[in-house]
Structure 1
Amino acid sequence: MVRIGNLELGDFPLLLAPMEDVSDPPFRAVCKANGADLMYTEFIAAEGLIRHADKSVQKLDIYDYERPIGIQIFGAEIEPMREAAAIAEAANPELIDINYGCPVKKVACKGAGAGILLDIPKMQAMTAEIVKRVNLPVTVKTRLGWDHDTIKIVEVAKRLQDAGIQALTIHGRTRQQMYKGEADWSWIAEVKNHPDIRIPIFGNGDIDSPQKAVDYWKRFGTDGVMIGRAAIGYPWIFREIKHYIATGELLPPPGLQERVDTVKEHLRFSVEWKGEKQGICEMRTHYTNYFRGIPNFKPYRVRLVTSESYEEIRTTLDEISSVFSDAYSLA
C-alpha cells in the first residue's frame, strides 16, 4: 500500500499531472471518473495567491468528487512560498505540492519551477520552510536537473526528504530537454532504489499506454506513475491501465458514443464551474483531442469551437453521434 502521510493510495497509484490550462476541475472530473487515484491542480503562482489575483484564487477550487487532491504552488522566493502554502492549505486539499519542474522560460528563468534546480541549497531551504508552515503532507514534483551536465537528482531527493517531504514525483527529463526526446527513467530508478530513500517515488514522462505503464513499473520499480499529456482527450487511459494490471488484457478503446458522452460531461462541468460563456470558451481546446482520428470531422470541429450556446454544442454532439460510426473511433 502506497501512503502519503495518512493518505492511502493503493498498491500502484495513477496520478494526474498538474498541467497549466488543462488540469482544471472539469478535466479532473472526467479523469477521476475513469480511475485516476490522485489529482493535482494546475500550478498556482505564489505571488498571485498573496495578491489575491482572481485567476490564481480560482485555481484553488476543489470539489469532493475529485478527492484526494493536492494543490500545487510555484515561486522563486521563500517567504511568498510559505505564505502561499498557508493560503493553499486553507482551501482544504489533502496535500500541498511544490513545483520544482516547470521548464517554461517565464517561470524557470526567474528561479522558479525547474530554475531552482540551479540552487539546490535554496530548494532544500524553501521546502523545509513550507513543511514547517503547514500541517498537511508536502510533496514535490521536479525534473532530473537543469541540463545533462547538472543532473543531481539523487542528491536532490535526499535533501528534499531531509526537508520533510512525504513523496516525490520525478519527470525523467532535464529542463533543457523541455518535452523533447525520451524520458530517462533510469535516473528515477536510481532514486527509488537508493538505500537512503524512504518516501514514495513516482515516475513521470512518456506513459501513454497500459503496456508501458506496467513495463516501467516492472523495470524501474516506482511506487506509481504520473500521467499528463496522454490523458488529454483520453481520460480512459487510467481505467485501461488498471484493467491491464488486474487482468493482463487490453480494454478496447472507447466507442464514439462514450466519447461524446464524456465530452458532454466535461462541457457540463466546465459551464457549471465558469459559467456558460467562459466554460464554452475553455472547452474549445479539448475537442480536437477527444475526436482525433475521425475522418472528415473538420466541419463538426469548426462548429464546436465557434458555437457560443451550450445547447447548440450539445445538439452538434448529438449529431456527431448519429453521423459517425464507432468504427471511426481512435484505436
Structure 2
Amino acid sequence: MNDFAQQVGDGAGAASLFHAPASVAPLRVGGLTIDAPAFLAPMAGVTDLAMRRLARRFGAGLAFSEMVASDDFAQAAGGKAGKFGRESVVRAMGEGVSPHAVQIAGREPESLAEAARLVADAGADLIDINMGCPAKRVVGGAAGSALMRDLDLAARLIAAVTGAVKVPVSVKMRLGWDEASLNAPELARRAEAEGAAMVIVHGRTRNQFYRGAADWAAIGPVCEAVEIPVVANGDCRSPRDAWEMLAQSGAKAVMIGRAALGRPWIVGDIAYLLRNGRARPALSPQARRDAAREHVATLMDLLGSRQGLRHARKHLAAYADVAAEEGGGLDAAARRRLVETEDAREVFDLLCRLYERAPDLEAA
C-alpha cells in the first residue's frame, strides 16, 4: 500500500486501497493561476462572505459567491436597490477573499454584461455564469439550467459577458436538461468559442435536481470536447471522492458543495491532498470551534447582530451535526437552543461546548 493509500479514507477514517497520482497541478484560468484544484461551490443562502473567507483561508483554490441576479445587482448599483438588490450587493462582496469569484445569473445579454462589468469593477477576479441551477424560481425565469434548452441564447450570453470584462469567465452547467438531451459537451464547446476560460459541470441533469448519484464519468465527454479546464461537481464528500471524480471524469479540478456545510475546512483538506498526494493533519477541536465562532461573528458584523444570528442558523445546525458525527456535539436541548436563540453570548458559549467532547481526528 502506498503513502496515499495509507492516509486517504472514505471520509469515515477507513483506509483506502485506491491508488492515485502524486499530485494535481495548479490551474491556469485565463490570466489567473489557481493554486489549488478544489473549489467551494456557489450555494444560495450558504456561501456567504464569512464562509468564503474561511474556505479560502483553509486552502480552497476558489470560493464562489452565492448566485447574484444580474437585474437586481444592476439596479442596486444604479441606486434603485430594493430588498433583493441590497441582498445581491452583499452576496457579491469579496473583501478578504482572493481570488474573488462571483457567480451571476440572467437571460438578457445586456443586463448580464452590465452586471459583469459592475462586479469586475468592484474587484471580482473571476466571473461565473450560472447555467446549471435547477431551482424552479430560476428556471421559471428562463435562466440557470433552462439555458441548456437554448444554446443559441446561452452562447450570446457568454459572448456578452466575455466581451464586457477583462477578467476570466467560467460557465457552470449540468449534463443537460434531461437524459434525452445531454448537451453539456456542445455547450462547453460553444462557451470556449465565445471566450470562456473554464467550465464547471455538475454530474446530474436538471430534471434530476439532486436525486440519485452524480455521474462523474458522464463529465468525461465535456473534458474531451474542449481545451479549457473542466471542473467536476456533484457528490464530492471526501478526499477519496475527489480522486475518483478526477479519475472517472478526466477533469482538472473538483468543486465541493453541500459537504462543506458545517466543515468549511474540507475544501482545503481536499485541495491539500490533490496537490501533495497525502492528507494533511486534521484540525483540532479548538480550531474547528474557532472557525465556527468566527463564522458567526463575521455574519453579525456584516448583517447586524439580529439578522446575522438568524442567517447563521443553517450554519450552526450544520456545525452541530458535523460535531455529532465526529463523536462530540450537544444534547438535543442544547442543540435546539443553539439554532433558536437570539442571544449572541449564548451562541458563542454553546459553540464552545459543541467541541468540548470532540475527539482529535487522525486525518482529513
- TM-score, with length taken from structure 1: 0.91
What residue number does 1:56 align with? Answer: 88
- How far residue 41 of structure 1 moved from its aligned partner, in angstroms, is 0.8
Check the 8 A contact 1:62/1:93 in 2, yes or no.
yes
Check the 8 A contact 1:153/1:187 in 2, yes or no.
no
Secondary structure at 2:300 match in 1: helix
1:288 maps to a residue whose letter is: A
What residue number does 1:78 align with? Answer: 109
Secondary structure at 1:96 match in 2: strand
1:6 corresponds, among 23, 31, 54, to 31
CA distance in 2, matches of 1:24, 1:72: 12
Change beyond 3 A, Cα 1:315–1:170: same
- How far residue 240 of structure 1 moved from its aligned partner, in angstroms, is 2.6
1:290 corresponds, among 316, 319, 331, to 319
- How far residue 250 of structure 1 moved from its aligned partner, in angstroms, is 4.6
Greater shift in the superposed pair: 111-120 or 268-277: 268-277
| Structural mapping, 1:28-177, within 5 Å | 28-52=52-76, 53-63=85-95, 65-177=96-208
Give deviations 1:209-245, integer Å, cap 9, x for gaps: 1011112223322110111111111122123324434
CA distance in 1, matches of 2:274, 2:72: 41
Secondary structure at 1:40 match in 2: strand
Change beyond 3 A, Cα 1:265–1:16: same
CA distance in 1, matches of 2:300, 2:186: 45
| Structural mapping, 1:251-330, within 5 Å | 254-292=283-321, 293=324, 294=328, 297-322=331-356, 324-326=357-359
CA distance in 1, matches of 2:110, 2:297: 39
Structure 1 residues without counterparts, runs of 5 or longer: none
Change beyond 3 A, Cα 1:252–1:282: same
Secondary structure at 1:93 match in 2: coil
What residue number does 2:230 align with? Answer: 201
Change beyond 3 A, Cα 1:258–1:110: same
Secondary structure at 2:127 match in 1: strand
Please tell me whether residue 244 in structure 1 is matched to residue 276 in structure 2: no
Change beyond 3 A, Cα 1:72–1:248: closer
Give deviations 1:61-109, integer Å, cap 9, x for gaps: 111x321121111012222212211221221110111000000001112
2:337 maps to a residue whose letter is: R
Check the 8 A contact 1:47/1:80 in 2, yes or no.
yes
Give deviations 1:240-288, integer Å, cap 9, x for gaps: 3244345655556545433322211111211121121111111111122
Higher relative contact order (CA 8 A, sep 6+): 2
